[in-house]
Structures are given as structure tokens and as C-alpha cells.
Structure 1
């Protein structure tokens, strides 16, 4: 019969200098208030590379009250605690930091608060008014800031979430443990927050605490890790439960309305309508059809990118996902709509976030490189035909006056910078794909020596590996490149149809300048100075077209306005249809789209 009532877990990573003394002190403290044979001390040794495993094994062999739980791989602080708790025998589970910074005279209160059945969870606190914790500024200020953030964002009633001095009943752990997603330093904070949300009885009591050793703010763990986990938990607890089918469809509708409203801040709707009134409606409609044809190609290209990474999905679903993300990009700055697509493919097919963002990075690089090559080829052609002077005047805006010249110059500068960056990115990706060198872990290691850095490094390495996979796959590289060329050629053909709608003859020079103007305008749109690049695109288009073709400034601006408006309208309509089809809420509604597409027969494409 098992008489163990209390299991104390000591999470240990490379603690060879202190672990033996910590175990001895812990056993003595427990023996002062617990009957013999009712407690155990578990050294949760987390993939150490020093002498800690040997010491823990020796202690376990010489004292039956001690157990050694070993992990070959680094599990992280939270992961190591869960691993040990699952193997513990007691009904009251306790853990504290092995440096014994918390005065051990508080151990009895920590254990008995839960063992007595009065509370489900107990935690020491260094920030209650009556405690006497010595907190130097370099430790105290970050701790105050973090706890204030958790209290405000996650609505916790506790003052101190990170004190390494906690106990929990086995029943509460078995219910809460599977709900805790973090496996590192945020683990106990998430446990406390969710315990409060679930209605468990949580006791916070003041402890005397003295810092041991040196401490510093860890960039990776404290800033990236803890901050992102607070936001993730807020989304999970406060946002996600409220996203129903009705809310998701309503939010999608509001997204589209907001996109349209923001567009009116940069383009006068009356001006657009007046300019469209002077264009042939049939050719404007044709331009919309041409642009719409490019979207299935976007879906096929995205499928090829994901295929090369080992993720296989239907092109029609991916076309819808691209539509939705591009609609979001008309509203949100810094292309935050791309994050929506990464979430959709994760929820839809469990494609990890690093792979989702890597696929987006590959797509963006191919987009920018293709546009840059189109612009560069036409620019060289124009220069070769003796139009170098006119081209320079166009690019500097000297040939056009007024607002178009000012916005156009900004757009051209942005386009040049983006184009050079695209070429550099492709060169770097190709070079990295041909080398076995790994700079990710070394770079992150310079920022942090915490165990969380290994976790972050693994994520970044996965991202880089996915990008390199596509680059190193010759057939995939070629398909994606040809798809990009087709997409942006159709983008230019859309603009040429608008040229024709305004009565402009499509001479070879007009076609060449059209290719160049649209390419530069699209490069300028990458910098999110306005929603969807509205204004930048028109400015770049106008200052290039007006001096290099018989089209005047007013007509060039009109063509640019209508061209861009047609493209944005097609994007928004496609986004509305896709949101309705896929019912894109950011929770289970996305999964419902799995059955809608899985029931369709597979197409040979």
C-alpha cells in the first residue's frame, strides 16, 4: 500500500553545485511536520550536461525518500515539472526552486494549505504588503511589470505569479495540466490564471525571499517568450470563446466595410466614379475578369510552395485563404493580413506557424523578385531605345508637377529599396540553401542563455529550413517562379485593359511603359504607408506613364485610379465570398471548412 501523501519536485538543470544540499534541506524540512514514509522528494533532472544526473542517482540509491526522474531531452521548466508530477505518487504536489531563495520555514504552510483540503492551489508571494522579500531593482522592476501585465490583461487576482514556491492537489493538476500549453517559464503563471478561471480555490500567502546568485533580464525569455504567452493566453481565454459563427461572419463583413471606408480616405469616390464614367464599361469589366483569373493561379502557386514543404492541400481552399489575407492587408498595416492566412492553414491542416509564415515569406520573395525583374527588364529596354533621359525625368518626378509628383517620387524610392532588398533576399536564401552552416542557434545564443532560447531557436530553425526546402527543390522553384510570372503579367494586362478602356492605343511603347509603371507601383505598395498602397501606386504609375507616353497627367492618374480600384474591388469581393464559404472564425469554425472541402472529389490539376 502506498503511504505517500506529499511529492516535492525539485526542477534541476545543471545544478551539480547545489542539488545535494537542496535535497538534504528539503528532507529535513518535510520531516519536521510530516510523518515518516508520507513524503518523497523527486529530482526532476531536465537533460543536464553536468554532474547533476549522477548526484541525483546516488541520492536516490542511498535514501528511499528520494527519487530521480531523468529526461534525455530538454523539456523546459514547465515540461520538466509536468513530467515529474505525472510520475509522482503523492496527492499533494509541491515544487520550489532549487536555489532555496524562499525561506523554508514557509514549507509547512505551502504543503498543508493543499494537503488539508482547504485549498486546491497555493503559491508564495513576494509582493504582498506584509512580506519582506529583498528585491533589487534589476529583479524587482521586471517582476512588477510582468505581474501588472498579467493582472490587467489576464484578470488575475494574484500579486505574484512567478514565485517558485507552489503546491497543487493532484485532482486540480490532472484537470489543469492538459490545459496549460506553455512548457517553459510561463507554465506556472498560466496554471494560476486558469485555476482562477476554473473556480479552483487559490491561496496566495506572503513569504520571506532572498535572491540567490546574479540575475539579468533575458531578451528571448522575458520579452519574446513571456510577452507572447500573455497575449496567447488572453486570446485563448477572452477572445476565442466569443468568436461564434455569427460573430465571425459579422467580423468579416465589418472587415470589408472598413476596407472600403479606408479606401475613401485616400481616393475620392466621386473622382473614381467620374473617371470610370469616361471609360468604356465593357473594357473595365474585362480588366476585372483578367485580374480575377490571376487568383486561382495564386492558389496553385501557394499549393506548390506548401507541397515542397511536405504539406498537401487543395488549391481551391488555398485560393480562398489568399483572398482573405489580401482583404485583410487592405485594412491592416505591415501586412498583418498575412497572419490571418498563417492561422487559417494552421487551423485547417495543422500546418505549424513557422511553416505557415515560411511559405508566406517564400511567396513574398518570389513576388518581389518577379516584379523587380519585370521592371528591370523594361527599364533596360527603354534605356536601350534612347529614352534614358525621359526615363530619368520620370523616375525623379521632374516631368510631372503637383501631388502626383510628390507621392510618385516617394513611391519610386520605396520601389527601388524594395527591389534591391528582394534581390538580396533571394541571393541570401539560395546561398543558405547550399550550405550546412547554422547561424540561427548561435545568433539567438548571443541574446540569451536561458533554456527558452532553445525553444525559440528550434522555431526559427524550422522557419529557415522550410524556406531553404523550397529553394533547394528545383522543380518547385521553377513552378513557383513561372506562377509568379503569370500572376504579375496578368496584373499588368489588367492595367493595359484599363488603358484601352480610356481610348489609349496599345502601342509597343505603351505596353512597355505599362509593364514598368505597374511593376514600380506594386513594389511601392509593399511599404504599408497607406491601406493597400492606395496613393503610392497611383503616384508611381502617373509620374512614369505621363512623360513616357502620349497619355497626359490627368489621364494617367485616371487610369491608375481605375486600375487600382478594380483590383481592390475584385480582392474584396473574393474575400467576402471566401469568408462566407470557409466561415473563417479564428477557432473551430475554420475546422468546419475541412468537411466542406474533404467531401468534394479530388480534381486532377
Structure 2
């Protein structure tokens, strides 16, 4: 019976609440709750969020349940909540993807501030008003909860803690971001800023948050951070390995787009560091894909040369004179091949993870001298300019 009901649901169907009283104002805040097969958590979470906003939020609000292709009773529960609670609406999408759900909910909203939070309510709701206040005042364009800033109180396992910290360090090293926590499921944005950013964001899944923040920061928008109380959901359905690989592909794509000038930027881009880092990430991904088919040294040479050739159109425009292409490629081949040879000698049974680790270390050893030289030259240029002025 449920299958027949689900088949009759339209692809995108907002279910309005009963006609509101004439005096009810338009919502100032529209909070999306993206869900996929959340029949167990959806109702208690939405009712708890609704009660909290009714008691503590001083402005009109809306909660939009954004169901992205659930196959259980989630859409039926969402429809019932929308019928019972006057500030709750819902939409249904035919395809999965948290980013896709947020794009649909935010694009359809007329509220001055839009946002979202995860359905498990891992973030303490007391941070909601501090999150939204700087957007309502016009002080900031985006606001994010952070689990990694001083003042945050976080309860989660060591594995997820390590993954989260490593991911954000990777973002700082590759894309030079200034925000501390890209993936906390607790964010808000002014609707006028969202209208500018959403057409530029390509990801429809978990990388959506990161891409949105990177583009916003590069465009010169102000991002406000709120330390949050966070209790991790032990039943989280996020599959870490596929998500991590998708994030790496997203970092490479966004990095190349920034290096080529394909995205708007309100600050100077680091057109040498970004493409070199993206090239190194692409080398690691291609090496991991080809390694089961051939020997380590052959795969290393093939994947590195392929990535180097593809990166040359970007690497040919660094702000400092770049080294000649062939000697630089030869040096990178020598260092990566030597690193693999040393690994085989020291640990003959080492697996793919160890090989990727030594290759990453080899790329880092090649990048550090360039970074130091660029920093020293930049410092000399600043001191010279100060003396001249």
C-alpha cells in the first residue's frame, strides 16, 4: 500500500499548511532540513526544532523539510507535519543529494535569511540565534557553526574527529581558506548572497557546503563563525570513504577553477600554489586508481606525467618565473620514484595507503622550498614598499 502511495507523490510538491491568519507576517528565517530515509528521526527532530523556535526566536520563521528521494515513510511524515504545524512546509525531489535539496529549498524561499541544519540535531539549538543575528543585522553575509574553534564543545569519536580536522587542514593547505569548519551541518546565508552564490556551485552532494564557502570567501563576502555544542550521532549514515574521495575530487575541481580565473574573486589568487597542489592531488587519485593494474614505479611515472601535461596550461601563468617544465617534471619524477623505492626497501609488504602517504610527502618536500622562497620574496617586497613610502 505504501509503495502505491509513494508512486503517486509528485517529483517536487510543497504541501502548504492550513491557510494562515491574515496577520501572520512573512518569515524572516527559512531553515531547511535535508532528509533521506529519516522516518525514525524526522518527526521528533522537527517538533523539537519547531518548539525551540516558537519559544526563543523573536521573528517569524519557516521550517522546510527537503526530502531528496526517500524510499521509506519520510515524505508521508513530512506531509503530516506540514499539515499540523503552521510554520512547517516540505518539498520532495526525485534525486538524492544534500546539496541538491538545499539548492531547491533556498531557491524557492522568499525569506531574507535561509539556512539549514542536519535532521539529527547534533548541534545545540542555543547557537541558532547567534548564528542568524549577524545576518539579520547586515554585519555578515554567511554564518557557520564550527566545532574546531575555541569555545566549541564537541562529543564524538576519535575517528571522526581526526577525519574532520584533517579535512579542514587540507582545505587550508590547498585552497587557502580562512574558515575553520567546512562541514558542520549548521549554516545560514543572506538570501541576496545565496542568489549570487548558488549559480556558481556545481556540487549536489556533501561537498556543496565547502564549495559554497570557498566561492563566498573568494568573492569577498564576510563569513561569521559560531562555536557550537556538538554531540555526534552514532547512527550517522555518512559513508566516510566515498565521501572523502568525492571531497578530494571537489577540491581538485574548485582549485583548478580558481587557478584559471573561472570563479569570481575579491582577493588575489595564489595562481602557483593552487594548481601545483591540485596537480599533486590528481596524481594521488590517478595513482590509486591505476595501481592495482601495474607496478608502482610504472603507475607513478604514467600518472604523474599525465597530470603534469594536463596542468601545464595553468602552471604556465605563475606570478613568479616558473622553472622550465621538463627539468621540473624530471625532479618530481625522481623524488616520487625515490620515495617509492625507499618504501619498498624499508617495508617490502607496504600497501597502497603507505605508497600514497610517501608520495604525498614527496610532493610536500618539493613544494616547501618554493613556498619559503615566495614568502621571503614577498616579505622583501613589502619591506621595500614600506621604505619607499
What is the TM-score of this pair, normalised by structure 2? Answer: 0.61
1:193 deviation in Å?
Answer: 1.1
1:73 deviation in Å?
Answer: 2.3
Contact 2:145 2:184 in 1 (8 A): yes
Contact 1:22 1:100 in 2 (8 A): yes
User: Are 1:30 and 2:53 an aligned pair?
Assistant: yes
1:217 deviation in Å?
Answer: 5.6
Q: 1:340 to 1:48 in 2, by over 3 A?
A: farther
Match of 1:176 among 186, 190, 197: 197
Superposed CA offset, 1:357-405 (max 9, x none): xxxxxxxxxxxxxxxxxxxxxxxxxxxxxxxxxxxxxxxxxxxxxxxxx
Secondary structure of the 1:32 match is: helix
CA distance in 2, matches of 1:133, 1:92: 27
Question: Aligned Cα RMSD in Å?
Answer: 2.6
Partner of 2:280: none
1:236 deviation in Å?
Answer: 0.8
Q: Superposed, which structure 2 residues align to 1:18-417 within 5 Å?
A: 18-35=41-58, 38-74=60-96, 76-215=97-236, 218-222=240-244, 224-240=245-261, 333-334=302-303, 337=306
1:26 deviation in Å?
Answer: 1.2
* Higher relative contact order (CA closer than 8 Å, sequence separation 6+): 1
Secondary structure of the 2:123 match is: coil
1:186 deviation in Å?
Answer: 0.6
1:239 deviation in Å?
Answer: 4.1
CA distance in 2, matches of 1:217, 1:47: 18
User: Are 1:11 and 2:11 an aligned pair?
Assistant: no
1:184 deviation in Å?
Answer: 0.6
What is the TM-score of this pair, normalised by structure 1? Answer: 0.40
Contact 2:127 2:226 in 1 (8 A): no
CA distance in 2, matches of 1:214, 1:53: 21
CA distance in 1, matches of 2:152, 2:88: 31
Secondary structure of the 2:154 match is: coil
CA distance in 2, matches of 1:62, 1:334: 57
Secondary structure of the 1:124 match is: strand
Q: Superposed, which structure 2 residues align to 1:588-603 within 5 Å?
A: none
CA distance in 2, matches of 1:176, 1:340: 32
1:338 deviation in Å?
Answer: 9.1
Structure 1 or 2, whichever has the larger Rg, is: 1
1:135 deviation in Å?
Answer: 3.1
More strand by share: 2
CA distance in 1, matches of 2:239, 2:37: 20
CA distance in 2, matches of 1:81, 1:46: 10
CA distance in 2, matches of 1:110, 1:48: 29
Superposed CA offset, 1:299-337 (max 9, x none): xxxxxxxxxxxxxxxxxxxxxxxxxxxxxxxxx734854
Partner of 2:329: none
1:127 deviation in Å?
Answer: 0.5
CA distance in 1, matches of 2:305, 2:246: 20
CA distance in 1, matches of 2:242, 2:43: 30
1:35 deviation in Å?
Answer: 4.3
Which runs of 5 or more residues in structure 2 are unaligned? 1-21, 264-300, 314-389
Equivalent pairs, count: 253
Superposed CA offset, 1:398-442 (max 9, x none): xxxxxxxxxxxxxxxxxxxxxxxxxxxxxxxxxxxxxxxxxxxxx
Which runs of 5 or more residues in structure 1 are unaligned? 243-331, 345-605
Q: Superposed, which structure 2 residues align to 1:576-595 within 5 Å?
A: none
CA distance in 2, matches of 1:35, 1:196: 29
1:57 deviation in Å?
Answer: 0.4
CA distance in 2, matches of 1:239, 1:140: 33
Secondary structure of the 1:212 match is: coil
Q: 1:144 to 1:338 in 2, by over 3 A?
A: closer
Q: 1:3 to 1:241 in 2, by over 3 A?
A: closer
Contact 2:201 2:212 in 1 (8 A): yes
CA distance in 2, matches of 1:238, 1:220: 26
Superposed CA offset, 1:532-590 (max 9, x none): xxxxxxxxxxxxxxxxxxxxxxxxxxxxxxxxxxxxxxxxxxxxxxxxxxxxxxxxxxx
Q: 1:33 to 1:179 in 2, by over 3 A?
A: same
